Chain A
Amino acid sequence: MDLTTIGLNSIWLMLATILVIFMQGGFILLEAGSTRMKNAGHVAGKTIFTFGIATLVFWAVGYGLIYGGDGNAFIGWGDFFLNPNPEAVDGDAYPQTIDFMFQLAFAGIALTIAWGGFAERGKLAAYLIFSVLFIALVYPVVAHWIWGGGWLSEHGKQDFAGSTVVHLTGAMAALAATILLKPRIGKFNKDGSANEIHGHNQVFTALGVLILWVGWFGFNAGSTLEVGKAFFGYVALNTQLAAGAGAIAALLIAWAITGKADVPTMLNGALAGLVAITASCAFVDPWAAVVIGIIAGLLVFGSMKFFEKLKIDDPIFALSVHGVAGVWGTISTGLFATETLAVQTLDWGKPGLFYGGGFEQLGVQVMGVVTSGLFAFVASFIILAIMKAVMGLRVTEEQEIIGLDLSEHGSYGYPEQIKQTNN
Chain B
Amino acid sequence: MNFSLDEFNKKISNAESFKQLGEERDKFNEMIQDLHTSIEQIKEINQIHDLFIQRTITLSETTLRGRGFGPPPVSYDFILFGSGGRQEQTLWSDQDNGIVYENPNNEHKEKVKSYFKELAITIEHGLERAGYPPCEGNVISTNPLWNKPLDDWYFKMNEWFEDPHWEHVRYLLILADSRSVYGQGILINKIKTRYFSEVASLSPRILEKMLHNTLRHKILLGVFGHLIKEQYGEEAGGLDIKYGAYIPMVNGIRLLSIEAGLFETSTLERIHKLKLMNLIPERYAAEYEKAFSNIFKLRYRTLYKKENGMYTSNGILKAKQLTKEQREELKSSLKIANKLQKYIKKKIDSSR
Q: Which residues of A contact B (CB under 8 A)?
A: 189, 191, 193-196, 256-259
Contact = CB atoms under 8 A, between A and B. Distances in A.
Nearest to A260: B231
Contacts of B237: 193
A259 B234 CA distance: 19
Contact of A259 (B218, B235, B236): B218
Contact of A258 (B228, B233, B234, B235): B228
B232 interface: yes
The 9 closest A-B pairs by CB, nearest first: A193-B236, A196-B232, A259-B228, A256-B223, A189-B234, A195-B232, A193-B234, A195-B233, A258-B231
B222 A191 contact: no
29 contacts: A189-B233, A189-B234, A191-B234, A193-B232, A193-B233, A193-B234, A193-B235, A193-B236, A193-B237, A194-B232, A194-B236, A195-B232, A195-B233, A196-B232, A196-B233, A256-B222, A256-B223, A256-B224, A257-B222, A257-B224, A257-B226, A257-B228, A258-B222, A258-B228, A258-B231, A259-B218, A259-B220, A259-B222, A259-B228
A257 B228 CA distance: 7
A99 B228 CA distance: 51
Q: For chain B, which range describes its interface: under 10, 10 to 19, 20 to 34, or 35 or more residues?
A: 10 to 19
A301 to B, nearest CB: 12
B219 to A, nearest CB: 9
A352 to B, nearest CB: 30
Contacts of B231: 196, 258
A341 B168 CA distance: 65
Given A195-B233, A256-B224, 13 more contacts: A189-B234, A193-B234, A193-B236, A194-B232, A194-B236, A195-B232, A196-B233, A256-B222, A256-B223, A257-B226, A259-B220, A259-B222, A259-B228
Contacts of A191: 234
Contacts of B233: 189, 193, 195-196
Interface of B is mostly: loop
Nearest to A191: B234
Interface string B291-328: 00000000000000000000000000000000000000
Nearest to B235: A193
A256 B225 CA distance: 10
Contacts of B235: 193
Interface in B198-253: 218, 220, 222-224, 226, 228, 231-237
B296 to A, nearest CB: 22
A256 B237 CA distance: 16
A303 to B, nearest CB: 15
Contacts of A259: 218, 220, 222, 228
A194 B237 CA distance: 10
Contacts of A196: 231-233
A259 B228 CA distance: 7
A258 B231 CA distance: 7
A195 B237 CA distance: 12
Contacts of A193: 232-237
A189 B223 CA distance: 30
A195 B226 CA distance: 22
A196 B233 CA distance: 7
Nearest to B237: A193
Contacts of A195: 232-233
A258 B236 CA distance: 12
Nearest to B218: A259
